[in-house]
Structure 1
């Protein structure tokens, strides 16, 4: 199948880390980026506008940008204010921006002690968002409060991503360096009970409702299926995308464990040559997801195999560096964006 070439936006000097489509405007997305690949130096938040372009794909242009003192790793649009979004920064800060205001954030929070690697806005409790950090914590926020509402001591090591369930307002999933997925209920007590050998003052750990031992290596990304509650995809350094049914909890002696351990792997999607940095389910189809990888490709998969048994639907490979972000258009089915350390944003049709 011949596809038109992608629409491309080049942001010289600023390698991309993530992208986010606006939930209010079909022609707007945000790019979180960093100078020097995020290793040292400042960051930049780009607000990208999509206009008419050739071949049925949009033309891309930077409407405005905001400079930050440290690299930006993620961005999430507000679900209640069309012009606002939050960013996650390498200096541990979280900033709230309004695209109608020039230059400076309208609010900033500094509680994390290490890099903030992800932010996610709840599409159910629309006045709340969460952040995850390399300090092992996940924090719940509302823009109206000067401090976080809740802190989850989620993992003993880096938390690469934390996402609200699109189905349950108080349920959050996390993934980490420790190779586990965890699901938390924000209504549960903050910490595991004290007991023999447990010292919550030196090693606090919030109790997860479910822990999924998903990989022997680091898990870099996860996403909730938009149509199937308690189904998640995960991926990381082992190069394999796995689809989990998290209703499946182990029975027998393990059932007495706290927290519960379980999760049944429904599907393995193999094909990437290096670590998978991002997965995202389609907002339009329950069986389709996209992935971005250090092998410089963005791939589209179906969990329902085609005749011949292949799950792979499409490989998008014009990038020349690590592909670290991908995201489906919320309004135009089949339109996907990918962003990379090559400082290029691609928008293409699958």
Structure 2
């Protein structure tokens, strides 16, 4: 597949998550770790892209691995990361010092963080290996809700872009759960795969559509109004799916990355659901994001110490 690729090499840092700024089309954040996240410290990389490539704008070190990153929806300079020590770190990317705040309540690794996108909310949700999800108001130094019920590690927590106070979680207990802050409990429990679920995401155009990706190598698209069967079952990856993201520009298009070293692009509304495969990494691909500003631009990161930004021709040619 011919696609123009810009590459940044983070020597000694293995990429776990990448997110493009909702404010600056040229800026992105990458959560990375030493020694594949098994030991050592973590580094938050703030990167800038231009026509020449990608360069380091600023970096912040933490004393444990960093596994996920999310940009603030209220301040263009603020980023939140989740760490191996059970804490969330809030950083000011305009200020090259330590974190503004450290939120420490989880008892095991924080594997997922996400900042709410619904109007009027300034909340962060976190998912942890301690089997709990927590919702935080960054204006105060503690969580405001803790959600219990998962019987396994929580790998992914993602706010609904449509419904205030609603988020999805994906777990090692093989379930996708939809949570409601009003009740403090799960509104839906979906046995979505017969394997650990590592990732989930919401459709940007339909509040009822959620996708899951699992260790069984499959992606499944769910309509929350009828959870007996998935809307689509997307097969093609040969190892566990690490992250999935819906396109912000096309309702039925999504991307997934995997431990099989690939990124794949799908349209679940088509007969031929797999649009294309990108094979430009030499290790597990863990982080993935679509640009909100530049149609079809994608960023990813992998354990091969690289962050890549590109526009896959398969999406450019897709109508």
Of the candidates 242, 251, 266, which is equivalent to residue 277 of structure 1? 242
Alignment of 1:1-350 (within 5 A): 3-53=2-52, 59-124=53-118, 125-188=120-183, 190=184, 207-248=185-226, 262-305=227-270, 309-350=271-312
Q: TM-score, normalised by structure 2?
A: 0.95
Report the CA distance between 1:263 and its aligned residue: 4.8
Inter-CA distance 4–170: structure 2 relative to 1 (3 Å threshold): closer
Unaligned runs of 5+ in 1: 54-58, 191-206, 249-261
Q: Where does residue 204 of structure 1 map in the other structure?
A: none
User: Could you list the per-position Cα deviations for residues 208-250 of structure 1 after superposition, in whole angstroms to 9, with x for gaps in the alignment?
Assistant: 11111101110000000000111100011000110000112xx
Tell me if the contact between 1:80 and 1:126 (Cα under 8 Å) persists in the aligned partners: no
State the alpha-carbon separation in 2 of the partners of residues 9 and 299 from structure 1.
Answer: 21
Inter-CA distance 263–106: structure 2 relative to 1 (3 Å threshold): farther
State the alpha-carbon separation in 1 of the partners of residues 159 and 8 from structure 2.
Answer: 30
Report the CA distance between 1:70 and its aligned residue: 0.3
Report the CA distance between 1:5 and its aligned residue: 3.7
Q: TM-score, normalised by structure 1?
A: 0.87
Tell me if the contact between 1:9 and 1:344 (Cα under 8 Å) persists in the aligned partners: yes
Tell me if the contact between 2:121 and 2:164 (Cα under 8 Å) persists in the aligned partners: no
The 3-state SS of whatever aligns with 2:207 is: coil
User: Could you list the per-position Cα deviations for residues 97-143 of structure 1 after superposition, in whole angstroms to 9, with x for gaps in the alignment?
Assistant: 00111120011111000000000000114411111100011111111
Q: Where does residue 254 of structure 1 map in the other structure?
A: none
User: Could you list the per-position Cα deviations for residues 115-174 of structure 1 after superposition, in whole angstroms to 9, with x for gaps in the alignment?
Assistant: 000000001144111111000111111111111011101412211111110110011111
State the alpha-carbon separation in 2 of the partners of residues 222 and 4 from structure 1.
Answer: 26
The 3-state SS of whatever aligns with 1:220 is: strand
Unaligned runs of 5+ in 2: 313-319
The 3-state SS of whatever aligns with 1:274 is: coil
- Of the two, which has the highest radius of gyration? 1
State the alpha-carbon separation in 1 of the partners of residues 265 and 54 from structure 2.
Answer: 22
